[in-house]
Structure 1
């Protein structure tokens, strides 16, 4: 067996072929790991029911009475009966949520509403809400001018 391996390694280009085979095996292992961890998937909010579930997971007892989904389904705004507004946005392969306490980070541009929170790690997001953008922007003014 060792003699056969020595003979194969002595062939011209055998080292390059082994390197290529090793690289191929490494790429296949990384691919299998990515698939196993479900990395790189294009997650989107399917419907209002999923947005409700995400809000409930983010804060127990948050029961939205009004929901606005981004047209691309990468984010949502939800309002509960007490007037609290929760922003849900895609964060990698998952979703993150924050309750908005101020309208200071809100900017309206036609059908697009850009929102940011006091949390610098949460970042900002531009939601395509269409005709609902103006209504939501106006309602956010009730949250207060500063955090």
Structure 2
């Protein structure tokens, strides 16, 4: 698996995010950081879960069409910035502890089956809880939730 630094962060709008192009979100942004996960797949999987909750790991066909939107056009610098879908942000903000734990278990199972021993060392439940807190802040402030990776 390719090593990636992933930062989920809260920002007021796409323009603020586009202005930081090429730079990692700094201390002015509320954020949650993790490594060694494929963030596009995670976002698609989370979105699928809230659309059709189940303990089963989704198939690639179920994830198709649920990729997040680019905030800026991709360049060759390796930096990717996506906006999470608003429906996912609302779902994460409204999710209870039990839902988030079930989703984290499903996410962990999927990563483990795909990546085996190369799976991230991050506590995926803690990552998901942190992203849900960011989502709640986004909903209450009118901001948006984004994902930056390198």
| Normalised-by-shorter TM-score class | under 0.3
Question: In proportion to residue count, which structure has more helix?
Answer: 2
Greater relative contact order structure (CA < 8 Å, 6+ sep): 2
Question: In proportion to residue count, which structure has more strand?
Answer: 1
TM-score by length of 2: 0.25
